[in-house]
Structure 1
């Protein structure tokens, strides 16, 4: 079988798995409906309607009851309010991961807005991954129903939590559910601390982040280098530093900042947030004005271009990667055409995908990276698949450039009507229903380095990265 044939077989198998997932969800939903029918009038002290359906599912397929309950909930949502998603799921066009995004993203919306968003999400779901699909859903919902987005965010903040779960081998999982700006503040601070050691430190980036979190809690506030070289280490003697708040970047349209519009803002590393939250964070922010096209009055210096490119790209330009532009490096595009604005031919890539592009440019891998046009980047996989990425940050800074946004939804007074439907439950203990491998520790060395955020920047390495 050729590489192309293998990819086709993979897609066919994935579609078959999606159809099997749909069959499982609908079977679980039907079992729940039958349980409810049998206990419509339980009487005092009796069985509540459908109370033990999840228990029966759990023992039948050897799963936990929380997973079974989530499957029931998804099945009911598809039956009651998402008919187009149900049909696409049955046909194997979208899998459970994407169905779950659509279910979560349309709850709390009016039926009008949910219908508009659902149609566009199904179209996009067939050519993107769940993380980007979730960002698109939040962006569109915030634009079609901005007041509703603020209301849902305020209700969700009541679920914030941090907890510890014991796992095997004397280890524990520390996780939590935090407001996005706070979570990004913690993440950026841990990253900064992870880069305080020298290039000879033997720890991986995940190990450094874990140790940095403990250092934050024990009061030391700094990650000590473990290179073992003592005073020969360049980081052995660290001058005292004035405490400062970690960098969190938010891109917001000028109209939203001034309160004349409710277009969503973009929180680097997370995605869309409502304009009201962005204005609250902006009360203590330092501002940089970004024009729609970078001007070259100063000669188009690299510092100015890098600032502009990071702002308009927002995140790494590899398909599916969500590493913030602040943690990525600008990469020069091909020779700029006459009259093109400074920096317009450049884009940002995280350390892992910058390495992929360098290897591709040297002919050491069959990937191909090339501009598709002024703002789009084309990635051609070794088997011929073409993936196009756009400037994600520009969609928020300049909302009129978001050409794939849906049109419709509530306006005026209708937007202020409260929606009492429950929000999806995203507690810290949520289970990945598609790939239930949370907590799995890869054995093979290359697999331990596969997450883009775990790649140590080339400037911090002791050996040649390429």
Structure 2
């Protein structure tokens, strides 16, 4: 094991693979502890500004973020977000504050916990915070956010709906200049709308042939421009003319892009308010799911046990799964089953956990629900190479729900069927139960209830890796006016010397 103080003198070339993993963990823990010190220091600076301010109103302490931003050479929005997180940790999350200070969780996971516990009643938080910390120790921020939102929605469904409705008022699209004559086109949209845009861009990216030289990110970027300029079609750049398989393909009539939502039957019927699952995003509240269902096409997915299987004996000996089996596996898996991957099942592939035997189909590796899982293209390739013993990864199915991966270093990672947690809430045995049923669920709150968006998988973002705060929305009223582009011009006509400061 490495001590973080020893890392600067380690000869990493002489360290074993297991030793390198230990060194990575030690370095990450040291970095997390340093992040905590930074958050606590800027929070204290803010408190001192507030105490010294002659103005008790919203302006008190406002420029603490300005001072910190200049000192750290970061933007004021980042400094304000650090202050906001520090205040939340001090006010209501003592266990998270302690774990952060010790370097057991980093800033990205702290942000998820802070975001997910806004305005949650203290009685609920007493049970929810330990669960979130336990989950933070075994998963990445994307999946932690999904679990946190699912649990918060289950504990306080009406609060989740209120947060979503208020958050929608902050929708926006912006253009930010970056170096080399480029710009970042950034938007904050309601999740179904964002998924509609994302899926439409993906569909347009498939309008060119395989010989098109552009990468998928480049195709999506060009598709966005084509969507805006009115052409509505991505032109192929293979330069093969009539030999291109996409040559002369007529432009189809515009249609709604496909988005997939998993929702329990009793939630759809209004019997309960369990959260639903929007593929590529995560949990959404029951009211929004029912609203979207008004124009949806339904597919019923049955819950099954280890002993049951939806494939016929004849179909199990076929390499390609039947449409019904494929639909069910995609629905219950929800996302790629590799540890930490959040690629939607609709954009992934079905894989045989135990490889299908093409020479003797009736023997092992059958095409059955108990031997199938969803993997994105990248991790499907990883598993295929591992099955051929070209990579030192190993994967086995512990039961119908759990898929276990052994890394080359021997570390074991377990993934579960994310979609099943939403379709069949009874399977979410790790979720906390609501110990508090008071009126806080329906009473208005003075603090704005806001949820920051989860980054869509495989969608590049302009994130500062030192400060993973892209899209963070400040909740504390003292800090919400920090970004200069959000400042409302003062149109009062009296001379400045007559105004109160």
TM-score by length of 2: 0.82
Structure 2 CA distance for aligned equivalents of residues 141 and 430 of structure 1? 28
Structure 2 CA distance for aligned equivalents of residues 119 and 192 of structure 1? 41
**Offset, 1:24:** 1.0
Structure 1 CA distance for aligned equivalents of residues 243 and 134 of structure 2? 57
**Offset, 1:170:** 1.4
**In the comparison of the two structures, how many residue pairs are matched?**
434
Question: Does residue 68 of the first structure (1) align with residue 91 of the second (2)?
Answer: no
Which residue does the alignment assign to 1:85? 96
Deviates more, 1:373-382 or 1:428-437: 428-437
Q: Deviations over 1:157-211 (max 9, x none)?
A: 0000111111111111111000001100111111111111111111000000001
Question: Does residue 324 of the first structure (1) align with residue 339 of the second (2)?
Answer: no
1:116 to 111, 114, 127: 127
Which residue does the alignment assign to 1:163? 174
Question: Does residue 210 of the first structure (1) align with residue 224 of the second (2)?
Answer: no
**Offset, 1:426:** 4.0
2:392 to 346, 362, 366: 366
Question: Does residue 147 of the first structure (1) align with residue 162 of the second (2)?
Answer: no
Question: Does residue 422 of the first structure (1) align with residue 436 of the second (2)?
Answer: no
CA contact (8 A) 1:109 1:419 kept: no
Structure 1 CA distance for aligned equivalents of residues 338 and 58 of structure 2? 52
Q: Aligned runs of 1:230-241 on 2, under 5 Å? A: 230-241=241-252
Compared with structure 1, are the counterparts of its residues 273 and 381 closer, same or farther at alpha carbon in structure 2 (3 Å cutoff)? same
1:182 to 190, 193, 202: 193
Structure 2 CA distance for aligned equivalents of residues 132 and 404 of structure 1? 14
**Offset, 1:418:** 2.3
**Offset, 1:422:** 2.6
Compared with structure 1, are the counterparts of its residues 47 and 313 closer, same or farther at alpha carbon in structure 2 (3 Å cutoff)? closer
Q: Deviations over 1:390-443 (max 9, x none)?
A: 0000000000000110122433754222233233574999965645698xxxxx
Compared with structure 1, are the counterparts of its residues 20 and 424 closer, same or farther at alpha carbon in structure 2 (3 Å cutoff)? farther
Which residue does the alignment assign to 2:301? 290
What is the SS of the residue equivalent to 1:344? Answer: helix
Which residue does the alignment assign to 1:455? none
Which residue does the alignment assign to 2:490? none
Q: Deviations over 1:28-66 (max 9, x none)?
A: 111111111111x338xx994212211211122222211
Which residue does the alignment assign to 1:387? 413
CA contact (8 A) 1:251 1:396 kept: yes
Compared with structure 1, are the counterparts of its residues 260 and 298 closer, same or farther at alpha carbon in structure 2 (3 Å cutoff)? farther
1:8 to 12, 22, 25: 22
Which residue does the alignment assign to 1:279? 290
Which residue does the alignment assign to 1:20? 34
**Offset, 1:302:** 2.1
Structure 1 CA distance for aligned equivalents of residues 468 and 124 of structure 2? 31
Q: Deviations over 1:104-154 (max 9, x none)?
A: 110132222233221210111011100001101100010000111111100
1:35 to 8, 25, 49: 49
Compared with structure 1, are the counterparts of its residues 319 and 342 closer, same or farther at alpha carbon in structure 2 (3 Å cutoff)? same
**Offset, 1:94:** 0.5
Which residue does the alignment assign to 1:302? 322
**Offset, 1:387:** 0.7
1:267 to 278, 281, 299: 278
Q: Deviations over 1:216-244 (max 9, x none)?
A: 11111111110010000000110342332
CA contact (8 A) 1:314 1:393 kept: yes
**Offset, 1:384:** 1.3
Compared with structure 1, are the counterparts of its residues 266 and 299 closer, same or farther at alpha carbon in structure 2 (3 Å cutoff)? farther
CA contact (8 A) 1:97 1:434 kept: no
Question: Does residue 223 of the first structure (1) align with residue 234 of the second (2)?
Answer: yes
What is the SS of the residue equivalent to 1:158? Answer: helix
Compared with structure 1, are the counterparts of its residues 258 and 94 closer, same or farther at alpha carbon in structure 2 (3 Å cutoff)? same
1:199 to 210, 215, 227: 210
Which residue does the alignment assign to 1:450? none
CA contact (8 A) 1:108 1:152 kept: no
Structure 2 CA distance for aligned equivalents of residues 425 and 139 of structure 1? 13
What is the SS of the residue equivalent to 1:400? Answer: helix
Compared with structure 1, are the counterparts of its residues 25 and 410 closer, same or farther at alpha carbon in structure 2 (3 Å cutoff)? same
Compared with structure 1, are the counterparts of its residues 311 and 104 closer, same or farther at alpha carbon in structure 2 (3 Å cutoff)? same
Compared with structure 1, are the counterparts of its residues 337 and 77 closer, same or farther at alpha carbon in structure 2 (3 Å cutoff)? farther
What is the SS of the residue equivalent to 1:92? Answer: coil
Deviates more, 1:60-69 or 1:88-97: 60-69
CA contact (8 A) 1:145 1:410 kept: no
Runs of 4+ in 1 over 6 A off after TM superposition: 335-338, 427-430
